[in-house]
Structure 1
Amino acid sequence: MSESIVIIEGTRQQQYESLLPQISAIITGETDLIANMANISSALKEQFNWWWVGFYLVKNDELVLGPFQGPIACTRIKKGRGVCGGSWAEDKTLIVQDVNQFPGHIACSSRSQSEIVLPVRRNGAVIAVLDIDSELLGHFDELDQKYLEQMIHELEKTLA
């Protein structure tokens, strides 16, 4: 396991291509979900300096705040509510270019302007979501989705 990551400059694609194997090395062999989520959140925050990066875990009928990097966040989110609850309910990645235009958006911070949320699955069921917020409108796209889904897949392999 690595104790640090190498931060690189370059295009977002170059940054992801550098970060993905580092995250894989950090979490491979570690079976503790919380530890892996904490390190992934930290690595993403360090590399991209997004406003907020973190996980919500499915507990009973709601998402409960898990490991994150950034300012104080909402603690509990109902299934189907907001972008996180929507990603969980629909079991798919959601990219929102302008959170102020998203019906039912939960404003944990007024500084958040765009968001991407990705489900984490164990045995086909969503057990958590990765939530990333940016202070910029239109910040996330299919490139982010592609590489973040690869990172989620690496996390899911540790759950087997």
Structure 2
Amino acid sequence: MNNIEEIKFESKEELYEYMNMSLEGLISEEPDWLANLSNAAALLWMLMDDINWAGFYVYKNGELVLGPFQGKPACTHIQIGKGVCGTAAEQRKTQLVKNVHEFPGHIACDSQSNSEIVIPLLIENKIVGVLDIDSPKLGRFDQTDKEYLEQFAEIVERYVKLPEVFI
């Protein structure tokens, strides 16, 4: 995967299929949760255009706590139900926000972020974290992104075993 930057994808779907296949290859046989979330965040960062943050928050002690990510420093604690991440965790439903400035209670960790997608990570229908991706571009994420990033999150849910402290 050293020359990944040189690969040209015919479509967004082709990019995501490659990314999801690569994720499965990266994490399917690695038991360490921290290594897996770190590689997942790095893969998103490496392959996705027009993003300024990609990573995870893990559910710990009743709140979301910053996990592995790529991008600028971020908020370290997010209450369930607050902001886009907290809303995704509370509702257990993907939040696709075309303009974060119109999202009630948006938490601006990076003032350059204009759109965001957050996918809850669930194990046995219990929240264990969220996948969060931000973009400086308004309307960056669409239904195709949602569909394939939910598949990405399902791969994470299948292979990443968080320590009991997080569940």
Both proteins in one fold, TM over 0.5 = yes
Q: Which deviates further from its counterpart, 64-73 or 3-12?
A: 3-12
Q: Which has the higher contact order (CA 8 A, sep 6+)?
A: 2
State whether residues 5 and 43 of structure 1, in contact with CA within 8 Å, keep that contact through their aligned partners in structure 2: no
Give 1:12's aligned residue: 12
State whether residues 120 and 152 of structure 1, in contact with CA within 8 Å, keep that contact through their aligned partners in structure 2: yes
Q: Write out per-residue CA displacement over residues 81-138 of structure 1, whole angstroms, 9 at most, x where no aligned residue.
A: 0000000000010000000000000000110000000011122201000000000000
The runs of 4+ residues in structure 1 deviating greater than 6 Å are none
Give 2:33's aligned residue: 33
TM-score between both structures, scaled by the size of structure 1: 0.93
TM-score between both structures, scaled by the size of structure 2: 0.89
Give 2:52's aligned residue: 51
SS in 1 for 2:93: coil
Q: Which deviates further from its counterpart, 34-43 or 128-137?
A: 34-43
CA root-mean-square deviation: 1.5
Query: 1:133 and 1:70 mapped to 2: Cα distance?
Result: 9
Q: CA deviation at 1:9?
A: 2.4
Q: Which runs of 5+ in 1 are unaligned?
A: none
Identity %: 43
SS in 2 for 1:108: coil
How many pairs were matched up?
Answer: 158
Change in Cα spacing, 1:41 to 1:159, as seen in structure 2 (3 Å) is: closer
Give 2:125's aligned residue: 124
Q: Which runs of 5+ in 2 are unaligned?
A: 162-167
